């Protein structure tokens, strides 16, 4: 009798299943539209030129020591400026607690554990649908979850009415998870006016916003514009939490580099909160990894590199936006009877196509095109070379 006899095999991650099926497919024209990682127009992974430049500048720095528990201070300072704006009042007033995190996932987990420890009465409100890992993260941190309506299948857009109605049921001190931009998986973001309504309701109800910002710059191509939701909430005087990730916008996926911050009421509160963030990190991983922090600090801390990064992130966003235009155009040229306006109206890495799980299955079986069964297309895998084949296949399975 082995000690591990009763350990069941864990359910397969749906994305891994797709990748496996894709790899086993012999069709040379196969397409993997499951993964959420950027690809260039040849479907190749990309290392940004600015990252190569930063690598060359930090090479040989001989700095291999442990970072402190909260990570690199110069990095977190630059990160919160990027999220909240360089002249943000809470920064000037010393009211921002921040630690370097293990990318967006790590930030969310620190927030979830912080809630478990210090906000035991608070529930987390999660949009329906959301990035599936949100549910796992708050479940493992043993925080009670509620869901709010977000996506309206009939319009393939935002269910603002449902969202406001559901959030109005929140109780003071509850935390609301908001995707700052490029909502995953729907690609549907509120307009600035809708953000204002959400902010006002949350202020009235004393709900605490937690922004998951995994795609700053990746939605519109403009980092400031992509932070507009946060700026709206700042204007309304909210305290808030924020998760930042440099996985997508700097292409630093495997470096696990991000920032977790909380705006508190006073500098004293921020100091206490930050000390507890570090306390949560300590028994989990002691201190965060060094290399990504060196790279991001180099890029955000030097105006020439920062400019270059802005250009490169814009280039990635624009490639995706142009693929949306081409995909819609191709579908309309095929006289598809389905509406495809949402393809260009949605934003960010994903297109929530609206096709059924059965239609997703036939795309895989008959066309070697792979995506998650909720019909989410990773636009990063669409190129000028495969977009017409994708449109034809989508047309076939939907007509
Ligand atoms: N949050 C959202 C909404 C995401 O889509 C992702 C990645 O897909 C993440 C967080 C976390 O990514 P990472 O941990 O690689 O930064």
Pick the catalytic residue from 125, 189, 195, 248: 248
d(CA 24, CA 70): 43
What would the pLDDT profile of 334-391 be if each residue is shown by its tens digit?
999 899 999 999 999 999 999 999 999 999 999 999 999 999 999 999 999 999 999 9
* Percentage, residues of the chain above pLDDT 70: 100
- Which 3 state secondary structure label does DSSP give 157? strand
Sheet hosting strand 240-245, strand order edge to edge: 96-101, 258-263, 240-245, 208-213, 175-179, 124-128, 145-149
Q: State yes or no: is 365 an active-site residue.
A: no
Pick the catalytic residue from 159, 212, 297, 340: 212
Task: Please report which helix (H) or strand (E) contains residue 147, including its range.
Answer: strand 145-149
pTM of whole model > 0.95? yes
With a threshold of 0.90, tell me whether the complex ipTM lies above it: yes
Q: How far is the CA of 186 from the centre of ligand 1 (A)?
A: 14
pLDDT of residue 40: 96
For the cut 90, the answer to whether the pLDDT of residue 317 exceeds it is yes
- Which 3 state secondary structure label does DSSP give 371? coil
Q: State yes or no: is 131 an active-site residue.
A: yes
Q: How far is the CA of 330 from the centre of ligand 1 (A)?
A: 30
Start-to-end CA distance of the chain, whole Å, equals 56
Instruction: Band the pLDDT of 62: cuts 50, 70, 90.
Output: low
Q: Which residues approach ligand 1 with their CB closer than 6 A?
A: 36, 103-105, 131, 179, 184, 212, 214, 245, 247, 253, 258
Which has the closest alpha carbon to 233: 215, 214, 218, 211?
Answer: 211
Residue whose CA is closest, atom 7 of ligand 1? 214
Q: How far is the CA of 188 from the centre of ligand 1 (A)?
A: 16
Residue whose CA is closest, atom 1 of ligand 1? 214
Q: State yes or no: is 195 an active-site residue.
A: no
Task: Return mean pLDDT, the chain.
Answer: 96
For the cut 90, the answer to whether the pLDDT of residue 15 exceeds it is no
């Amino acid at each position: 009798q082995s000690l591990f006899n009763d350990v069941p095999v864990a359910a397969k991650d749906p994305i891994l299943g797709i990748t496996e099926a894709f790899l086993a497919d012999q069709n040379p024209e196969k397409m993997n539209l499951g993964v959420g990682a950027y690809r260039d127009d040849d479907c190749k992974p990309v290392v940004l030129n600015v990252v190569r430049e930063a690598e060359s500048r930090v090479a040989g720095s001989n700095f291999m020591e442990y970072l402190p528990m909260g990570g690199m201070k110069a990095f977190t300072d630059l990160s919160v400026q990027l999220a909240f704006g360089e002249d943000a009042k809470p920064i000037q007033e010393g009211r921002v607690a921040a630690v370097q995190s293990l990318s967006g996932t790590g930030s969310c987990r620190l927030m979830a554990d912080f809630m478990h420890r210090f906000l035991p009465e608070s529930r987390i409100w999660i949009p329906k649908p959301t990035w599936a890992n949100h549910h796992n993260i708050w479940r493992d941190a043993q925080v009670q979850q509620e869901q709010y309506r977000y996506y309206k299948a009939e319009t393939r857009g935002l269910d603002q009415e449902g969202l406001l109605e559901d959030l109005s049921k929140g109780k003071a001190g509850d935390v609301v998870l908001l995707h700052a931009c490029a909502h995953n998986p729907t690609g549907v973001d509120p307009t600035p006016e809708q953000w204002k309504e959400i902010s006002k309701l949350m202020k009235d109800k004393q709900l605490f916003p937690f922004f998951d910002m995994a795609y700053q710059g990746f939605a519109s191509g403009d980092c400031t514009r992509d932070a507009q939701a946060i700026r709206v909430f700042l204007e309304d005087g909210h305290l808030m939490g924020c998760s930042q990730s440099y996985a997508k916008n700097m292409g630093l996926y495997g470096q696990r580099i991000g920032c977790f911050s909380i705006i508190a009421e006073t500098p004293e509160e921020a100091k206490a909160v930050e000390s507890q963030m570090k306390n949560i990190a300590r028994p989990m991983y002691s201190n965060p990894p060094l290399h990504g922090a060196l790279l991001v600090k180099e890029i955000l801390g030097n105006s020439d590199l920062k400019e270059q990064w802005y250009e490169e992130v814009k280039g990635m966003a624009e490639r995706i936006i142009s693929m949306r235009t081409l995909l819609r155009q191709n579908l309309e040229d095929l006289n598809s009877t389905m509406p495809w306006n949402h393809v260009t109206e949605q934003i960010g890495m994903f297109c929530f196509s609206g096709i059924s799980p059965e239609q997703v299955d036939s795309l895989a079986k008959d066309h070697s095109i792979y995506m998650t069964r909720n019909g989410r297309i990773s636009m990063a895998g669409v190129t000028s070379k495969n977009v017409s084949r994708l449109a034809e296949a989508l047309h076939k399975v939907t007509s």
